Structure 1
């Protein structure tokens, strides 16, 4: 009888707790060791998160930190391997719905979607992506990062997130691929640069201003951006701003595991826990599956197959035709393929030069050959 009373009491306590917090609580695990700032900083972040977000229960995983007995704990020995095993077990048995970790061995195809505070207007912006590897080839990875970034935004309640592509290598190819998917029915909303000429390809000004909801980039660049945005006021030793490196996303991936760094301070730890709880509540894995299915319906697989790197032209057998004034520019050729594109035009008797414009590489041609040159480049797969 006493056991039944105990179970009834616990159930009633859960009902009262859920009513006070506005709904069912989301349990998120937090690795309690590994920070360069000490275990106390992690525990402080956990307390801060629960105070800021009433629907969150943080479950600390690791050696118990004195003075933080009010937090829920899964105690382990003082060993990172034991902490990792306990975290996996807690996810598997449903004790927690997701976790925030300082490191995690994501498989190829899984990446994390970061979120930062942009300093221009204090606007949140998603960085897709920040750790992990969504694909080996940069352009494919950035296209997949777009889908996962949109899914993360939608799981946060942003119904129609605006998307921009950071002007790194491959940006023009990514834009054209995404635009092709849009033309075939994939619903993507491109944002616009704050610069006078606009466009969905973003420069530094745009990410400082938070011009879009989702900034697409390669993971290494995204990782650098996360560190800059989170610690530019502290000199880099303490990450004080933002929501961390974000939750994991990938085709067929079901877990929600977010990443923080060893330099993440309590405010970022709290933000990461809240971000994780919100995307869990918003059904992030299901949102990812929806975006991938929608993109595949619009021809994603064919687009990715067509973007496979091309074999370079044999430079020794192609000589340029006589030089002419080049007063027109052709945009949209990837920086890694621009020299080969020039040689393709030479082979057809059109004089061309490669150059770098303000939004990326261009091929310069005489105005009288512009239309034909564009047709040749499109037919050869460069545009």
Structure 2
């Protein structure tokens, strides 16, 4: 029996906030109410009780659950509705009970299906069922993306989602995608990711995003076979300016920078290491191409960083800035 999934909201308005100090899920795991009757009852209370919260994975991150618990407290003091997801002994009676977790060194492809009551799956399920407006986790990227696919499903026409980080480069925002979802994509996947990144940039207020393909040189015909093929496909995309080198990324030559998840993750971590305190972006990346708002934070994120991610999730989750819209309208 299929569980009904809340339909995605359309984009209405997105305002910037200041920074703070499966598809077929029922086939792979029991529903929350079946696995835990008290959790099902809590879901009913949530639907009657005002604004939907951001659900924060209490078991995700290098220092979980201590850091997520502190992050939730910071976010709540800032007026953000937050609900923690994890074992009841950790999250208390008001949290979402999830007795299992997925560790950083485990294979998410296997463990996600074997553990329907893992915190990341229960949290994603809450978004799918409309009990939360967004999900934030500092757990394994693969597990977070996988849980989003299992519980939320893909947007129409999307084969593989992309994890997009919003960088602050020279006082302007640059969308970097991918930073971890697809480490070895083909050319068509890169082209699809470019479209998702372009639409996301538009929703962030960039009317005509310039799209660049990360490469070793800007001249045509350079790069790997996949990069060269992707450049040919991207030539038909509005806003494509060609290849950009890392120096061009830092100079703000493009508003959207497309690359594979392996390279993008290295770029992101290099910028974070060079800056010492981070790259000045959102401190969490957004999963684009799934039917809901899901953010992936760095495993070593501080409580303040994670609270900032929760705040950003509440902002874009309330306006569905991650939902696919081929019209690419501005907010």
TM above 0.5, yes or no, is yes
- Is this contact kept in 2: 1:97–1:256, CA < 8 A? yes
Q: Structure 1 residues 94 and 239, CA, compared in 2 at 3 Å: closer, same or farther?
A: same
Of 127, 132, 136 in structure 2, the residue corresponding to residue 100 of structure 1 is 136
1:113 aligns with 2:164: yes
Of 272, 281, 288 in structure 2, the residue corresponding to residue 230 of structure 1 is 272
1:90 aligns with 2:126: yes
Task: Give the deviation of 1:37 after TM superposition.
Answer: 2.8
3-state DSSP of counterpart to 2:174: strand
Alignment of 1:323-342 (within 5 A): none
Of 128, 133, 139 in structure 1, the residue corresponding to residue 182 of structure 2 is 133
Q: Which residue of 2 aligns with 1:177?
A: 233
Q: Which residue of 2 aligns with 1:160?
A: 208
Larger Rg: 1
1:203 aligns with 2:245: yes
- Is this contact kept in 2: 1:128–1:149, CA < 8 A? yes
3-state DSSP of counterpart to 2:282: coil
3-state DSSP of counterpart to 1:46: helix
- Is this contact kept in 1: 2:164–2:177, CA < 8 A? yes
TM-score between both structures, scaled by the size of structure 2: 0.62
TM-score between both structures, scaled by the size of structure 1: 0.54
Q: Return the structure number with greater relative CO, CA threshold 8 A, min gap 6.
A: 2
3-state DSSP of counterpart to 1:174: helix
Please list the CA deviations of residues 124-165 of structure 1 after superposition, one character each: whole Å capped at 9, or x if unmatched.
32111112239x643212211111111222333333322222
Distance between the aligned counterparts of 1:262 and 1:11, measured in 2?
31
Task: Give the deviation of 1:228 after TM superposition.
Answer: 2.0
How much is the aligned-residue C-alpha RMSD, in angstroms? 3.5
3-state DSSP of counterpart to 1:116: strand
5+ long unaligned stretches in structure 2 = 1-45, 103-116, 150-158, 217-223
- Is this contact kept in 1: 2:175–2:201, CA < 8 A? yes
Residues matched between the structures, number: 246
Q: Which residue of 1 aligns with 2:41?
A: none
5+ long unaligned stretches in structure 1 = 1-9, 15-24, 182-187, 191-198, 293-383
Q: Which residue of 1 aligns with 2:66?
A: 40
Q: Structure 1 residues 78 and 133, CA, compared in 2 at 3 Å: closer, same or farther?
A: closer
